[in-house]
Amino acid sequence: MTIIDILKAIVFGIVEGVTEWLPISSTGHMIILKQIMPLNVSSEFMDMFLVVIQLGAIMAVVVLFWKRIWPFGRTRSGAIRVKKQTAKLWGNILIACLPAAVIGILWDDVFEKLFYNYLCVALALIIFGILFIVVERHNEDLRPTVNKLSEITFQTALIIGLFQVIAAIFPGTSRSGATILGALLIGVSRKTATEFTFFLAIPVMFGASLLKIVKFGFGSTGMEVATLLIGMVMAFIVSIIAIRFLLGYIKKHNFKAFGWYRIALGAVVLIFAAIAG
């Protein structure tokens, strides 16, 4: 493994760590990155790498929010107890995951063949970028009706989960972008929508990574394993920074800037499509 290979894996990890949590589509960025600096691996491994590298990002959520997501505690006598609010949160997360899980298990390969291309990614980036701007303008004079994770109902979680299906079908939508946008549309505050999106990612990313690993098999070379580990570690480190940044950013700002960025990125992807074509 050369220094160039290591540097490339580091860059992929950095891009994953930033784009996984900001609503700007990790897929769109990875398409451009692959075009600029392809890794010296097989196409099959590359497909697996781009999904499994997310495990590094998701571990950042687990580490940062461990106390809030661990459902067990202890009574004064030392007995193990289940924290009701955390159990409810996980119930909502599982409900929100169901639609995308069913779609992913049954038709993941089909959707990948149909929509994993420059044009679809660019359109998803641009359309959802416009929607972010429109929704934020519409919500300027409205007060959120859901301001805490504990106020999210099963019905609200299911609606957010249905928006996640859009991201599962159309690459470039952004999983975090789709779920945050869906939550904003039904009256969830920015902070609550963002936090729920973070937690929702835990089973989604673990499930998607496991599915890809099983499909790829366990015949990776030493260089491929090293590439994946480097990417995951960098994604973990950068994700911690990106998550903290986003939570601080939305205290004073809305998501319009991300909408404009998505539109610009969509235009860049279209340019790459023209060059590649």
The per-residue DSSP string of 154-211 comes to: HHHHHHHHHHHHHHHHSTTS-HHHHHHHHHHHTTB-HHHHHHHHHHHHHHHHHHHHHH
Q: What's the whole-number average pLDDT of the chain?
A: 90
pLDDT digits (tens, 9 = 90+) for 212-249: 888 887 777 888 889 999 999 999 999 999 999 999 99
Please report where in the chains the tokens 């600096």 appear, as a residue: 37
277 pLDDT band, cuts 50/70/90, is low
| Distance in angstroms (rounded) separating the CA atoms of residues 268 and 31 | 11
Q: Answer for the pair 61, 243: CB distance below 8 angstroms, yes or no.
A: yes
Q: Which helix or strand (DSSP H or E) is residue 214 part of?
A: helix 190-216
Pairing verdict, β 72-74 and 80-82: antiparallel
- pLDDT over 90 at 204, yes or no: no
Whole-angstrom distance, CA of residue 39 vs CA of residue 214: 22
Question: DSSP class of residue 255?
Answer: S
Closest to 205 (Cα-Cα) out of 56, 76, 71: 56
Residue 181's pLDDT is: 94
> Is the pLDDT at 276 greater than 80, yes or no?
no
The dihedral built from the CA positions of residue 135, 140, 141 and 144, taken in this order, carries a sign that is: positive
DSSP-derived 3-state class of residue 82: strand
Q: Give the pLDDT score at 157.
A: 96
153-172: pLDDT as tens digits: 999 999 999 999 998 888 88
SS3 39: coil
Closest CA to 236 of 3, 20, 7: 20
Q: What is the pLDDT of residue 248?
A: 95
Spans of all domains in the chain: 3-276
pLDDT tens per residue, range 74-129:
888 888 999 999 999 999 999 999 998 888 777 877 887 888 888 888 999 999 99
Share above pLDDT 90 across residues of the chain, in percent, rounded to a whole number: 61
Alpha-carbon dihedral sign for residues 176, 180, 183, 189? positive
